[in-house]
């Protein structure tokens, strides 16, 4: 064990078990990108020595982070910061197949509008910000086989995302999460989705090329950093005839 003083654990709630406080300390270091996504963290022996804890305590903290999908173990190589899969989550609710009837594909996307505005009440609540907080709103259409299938309103709180106000709309990528990581150091570690079915108003009907009043799936998504803090809130409207939700309870 090192002769230097052990690294201090957060004292936010001393009632928590030692392994839980250790888990929070490690999650904070992941959120701060001390270990980059897809990067290997120090060995259990090194971390146990660094914090002055027993190996079993350290192992319990790591197992919790693996269970939460912040870390992943790779046989014979060590433990790595897990890079979230960016492409699949939203579109697991819709059916898209390639021309040969293959698996899920990621529709093309296009930012069609941008405005500096204020957060909707639902977004402000989810992002833990006061009503009327300034935000950048991106309007995005997703296309499959050349036809619009999903429309999104993406709300990004200011001033955190101010650098995107002047970015050319054509320079936005199909996937925004890698952009958040590269430009702002924000790694999306999870999302919370709320689903319902509604009717397309005139604007969404026009953008989605459906009749006004058609059934649409509505998905509210809150994107979270690896430490659980909110990053972005969006609302998506998708063709009701492509919507599918499956859950298995045991």
pLDDT in tens, 104-123: 456 688 999 999 999 999 99
Residues 101 and 198 in one domain: yes
Full residue range of the structural domain in which residue 135 is found:
90-242
Task: Identify whether 10 is part of a domain.
Answer: no
In a domain, 3, yes or no: no
Check whether residue 222 and residue 166 sit in a common domain.
yes
What CATH number corresponds to the domain at position 46? 1.10.10.10
Q: Helices in 77-231 by DSSP H: which ranges?
A: 121-127, 177-184, 202-208
Number of domains in the chain: 2
More confident residue, 250 or 124: 124
| Mean pLDDT, the chain, whole residue set | 85
The set of residues, in sequence order, having a beta carbon less than 8 Å from that of 161 and lying 6+ positions away, is: 136, 184
- Calculate ∠ Cα 193-198-200, nearest 5°: 115
Most confident of the following: 9-23, 77-91, 151-165, 179-193: 151-165
Residue 65 and residue 128 in one domain: no
Write out 164-202 in H/E/C secondary structure. Answer: HCCCCHHHCCCCCHHHHHHHHCCCEEEEEEEEEEEECCH
* 92 DSSP assignment: G
CA–CA dist 20, 146 (Å, integer): 49
Of 62, 81, 100, the one marking the end of a domain is: 81
Phi, psi of 204 (to 5 degrees): -65, -35
Whether 96 and 171 map to the same domain: the answer is yes
Reported as a pLDDT band with limits 50, 70 and 90, residue 237 is very high
Same domain, 74 and 169: no
Q: Are residues 39 and 100 in the same domain?
A: no
Show which of 81, 99, 126 is a domain's final residue: 81
Which tops the pLDDT comparison, 48 or 33?
48
Q: Are residues 199 and 231 in the same domain?
A: yes
Q: What is the mean pLDDT of residues 156-178?
A: 92
Chosen domain end from 38, 53, 81: 81
- CA distances for 1 relative to 48, 49, 164, 249, angstroms: 9, 5, 47, 46
Q: Which helix (H) or strand (E) holds 65?
A: helix 55-67
37 and 95 inside one domain: no
Summary count for the chain: helices (H), strands (E): 6, 8
Distance CA 187, CA 149 (A): 27
CATH number of the domain enclosing 186: 3.40.1410.10
Is the model's pTM score more than 0.85?
no
For CA atoms 237, 239, 242, 243, the dihedral sign is positive
Let me know whether 40 and 109 are in one domain. Answer: no
Q: Is 160 helix (H, G, I), strand (E, B) or coil?
A: coil
């Amino acid at each position: 064990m090192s002769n230097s003083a052990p690294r201090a654990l957060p004292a936010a709630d001393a009632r928590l078990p030692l392994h839980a406080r250790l888990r929070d300390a490690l999650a904070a270091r992941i959120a701060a990108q001390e270990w980059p996504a897809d990067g290997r963290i120090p060995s259990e022996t090194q971390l146990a020595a660094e914090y002055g804890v027993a190996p079993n305590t350290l192992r319990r903290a790591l197992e919790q982070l693996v269970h939460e999908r912040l870390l992943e173990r790779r046989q014979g190589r060590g433990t790595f910061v897990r890079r979230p899969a960016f492409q699949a989550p939203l579109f697991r609710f819709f059916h898209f197949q390639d021309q040969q009837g293959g698996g899920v594909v990621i529709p093309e996307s296009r930012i069609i509008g941008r405005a500096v505005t204020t957060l909707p009440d639902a977004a402000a609540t989810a992002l833990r910000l006061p009503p009327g907080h300034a935000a950048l709103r991106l309007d995005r259409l997703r296309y499959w086989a050349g036809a619009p299938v999903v429309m999104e309103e993406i709300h990004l709180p200011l001033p955190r995302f101010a650098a995107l106000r002047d970015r050319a709309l054509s320079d936005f990528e199909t996937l925004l999460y890698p952009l958040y990581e590269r430009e702002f150091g924000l790694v999306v570690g999870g999302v919370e989705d709320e689903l319902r079915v509604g009717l397309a108003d005139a604007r969404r009907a026009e953008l989605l090329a459906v009749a006004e009043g058609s059934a649409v799936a509505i998905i509210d998504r809150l994107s979270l950093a690896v430490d659980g803090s909110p990053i972005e809130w969006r609302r998506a409207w998708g063709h009701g005839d492509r919507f599918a939700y499956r859950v298995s309870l045991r």
